[in-house]
Structure 1
């Protein structure tokens, strides 16, 4: 009788562990999905701001500063390279904002 009870307890314990593992996996997936969605939303928001700045094709010194500030957020937010590369080029440029980078960013925004 004790042997049966011990086997039953062990089986219940193993089933419980399996269930805990599944709960853990489901929780981890939900957290990862939420983080991914948040990063995507952040990347989309950064893209929206960058696109609004370069819409007219003219990038002032203040615009350049704003775009430069968006680079890190865009990269961290998982924005595509077609956005982050021209942003980085604009941020790293000197006094002259590269027209080809502005055009590349405008093209990416049109997609």
Structure 2
């Protein structure tokens, strides 16, 4: 009887371990999927804000500062290079925002 009870306990333990592994796998997939969705949403929001700022083609000092701030957020969010490259160029520019960077960003926004 004791052997049978020990065998049942061992079987239950193995089943529990297998179940825990499946639960852990499912949890990891859910976390990764959630993180991916958050990054996609964040990238979309950064793109939306950047596109609104360059829509008219004129960049004020305040808008330049905002675009510079969006550059890091866009890179972190995994926005495509067609967005992050002109944003980074605008952020790194001195007193004069490069017209080609504004144009490149407008073209990326039009897609």
SS state at 1:63 partner: helix
Which residue number corresponds to residue 14 of structure 1?
14
Structure 2 partner of 1:97? 97
Q: How many residues align?
A: 111
TM-score normalised over the length of structure 2:
0.95
**Runs of 5+ consecutive residues of structure 1 not aligned to the other structure:** none
Which residue in 2 is equivalent to 1:32? Answer: 32
| Number of the residue aligned with 1:88 | 88
Structure 2, unaligned runs of 5 or more: none
Matches within 5 A, 1:47-66: 47-66=47-66
Deviation, 1:4, is: 2.1
Matches of 1:52 and 1:94, distance apart in 2: 22
